[in-house]
Amino acid sequence: MTATRWLAEYAWLPERAEPTPDVLIETADGRITGVTPLAGDDAPAAGVEVMADAVRLPGLTLPGLANAHSHAFHRALRGRTHGGRGDFWTWRDRMYAVATRLDPDSYLALARAVYAEMALAGITCVGEFHYLHHNPDGTPYADPNAMGEALVEAAAHAGIRITLLDTCYLTATVDGQPLAGPQRRFGDGDALRWAQRADAFTPTDDHARVGAAIHSVRAVPAGQLATVVGWADRRGAPLHVHLSEQPAENDACRAAYGRTPARLLADHGALGPGTTAVHATHLTGSDLTLLGDSRTGVCLCPTTERDLADGIGPARRMADVGLPLSLGSDSHAVIDLFEEARAVELDERLRTRRRGHFSPAALRDAATVDGHAALGWRDAGRLAVGARADLVTVRLDSPRTAGVPPVGVWFAAGAADVTHVVVDGRTVVRDGRHLTVDVPAELASAIAEVNR
């Protein structure tokens, strides 16, 4: 049994409103085997010997963070699309241009660097919303899942877990216009052929799982939704879907089907506790009731939603009707779940002109345990016995965090303050450096290759 002891200066334990000082965390074979506060009222009566070889973690130690919504190739657009005018639809044209230039080798190089950047930010698990399935002309690779395999391999190199959300993408518009141009590589023809290809990919590595995604009501006709839902149900796999990201999507769905996207999904069995709706920015009151009654989760991606001028989702109303909230960095204009978490609160302040909508503990849960649950890893995201041994330590002496109480990290810290990351008991980041990937160099090289 491979065992390690970690002595956290502060650790944020489950169901605690604030971090606890001086916590001994013991791990073995990738699991947490002991969590013992050593100071104050929480200290054990008999005391616990702290061995000299315990690894000391100065700062605040959190559970691993979960990035529940990623499009890895969008990272190549950072800094290239932000200065001009336009909206989501004009940005999408630039994104498609990048999508046409990737193959399995270049995607492996890019995703490896992107996932390693996530590790540096304290992310121990990513949900990759994957639809770059085929050659740019739409013909399958010799291995029809070569692109998905590249993403799974990239996560292994970076040292993080992945849920590959294999995405069904069949049409260009809600009214069924066929895929054309760059979109041709996204499609499998119909949902049955999508399911057959998805069934053929079964990663055996412990760090990877496969889930399903309905790209959106634009991309999967109503009559084919049930096939994707059934695939996820049979596999016990998570199901994700872009939902009501832009008002134009809602308008087109009403025109084609006489109902909102949320109602369309509900009518075809696509909502439920195994489903996560991504964005859900432009919901009606009835939509919120549908999601709440079905216990559907929502993944918010505030840095992307503001970058693309999509709008601000009703996060507090979502939480009030019982929707579990998770977080994603989506287009990777920023990879920083501290920024995503505080934006949930701060954007709600802009909407309401009031403060205090989400507690620090609620933001922690969105970034950790609820994000992992949305990706099908329900044994991760908590510093508790039996949970996966994922530890993320944030320094409390940086220019951003100096003088900040540990409970304030969600409003002060950033990705650059992460010093130590452990995934399934294995150290991936130490002293702010990735142990196996030269992240800046590999990002620069991979992005230059894609954009040349």
Q: Which residues are catalytic?
A: 279, 330
Distance of CA 150 to the CA centre of its chain: 18
Q: CB count, 10 Å around CB of 229?
A: 23
* CA dist., res. 328 & res. 317, Å (int): 19
Q: What residues are paired with 27 via a beta bridge?
A: 4, 32
* Residue pair 280/215 in contact by the 8 Å Cβ criterion: no
* Residue pair 340/302 in contact by the 8 Å Cβ criterion: yes
* CA dist., res. 451 & res. 335, Å (int): 20
346 — phi, psi (to 5°)?
-70, -35
Q: Which of 289, 316, 285 is nearest to 300 (CA)?
A: 316
Q: What residues are paired with 56 via a beta bridge?
A: 7
Specify whether the backbone of 324 is left (phi greater than 0), alpha (psi in -120 to 50) or beta.
beta
Q: Locate tokens 């604030």: which residue? A: 18
Q: DSSP readout, 268-292?
A: TT--STTEEEEE--S--HHHHHHHH
* CA dist., res. 255 & res. 32, Å (int): 52
Q: Are strands 297-300 and 275-279 parallel, antiparallel or unpaired?
A: parallel
Euclidean distance between the first and final Cα of the chain, in Å?
Answer: 49
What is the C-alpha R_g of the chain? Answer: 21
Exposure pattern of 346-370 as b/e (b: 16+ CB <10 Å)? bbbeeeeeeeebbebbbbbbbbbbb
Q: Are strands 433-434 and 426-430 parallel, antiparallel or unpaired?
A: antiparallel
Name residues whose C-beta falls within 8 Å of residue 121's C-beta, 6 or more positions apart in sequence.
65, 335, 336, 337, 415, 418
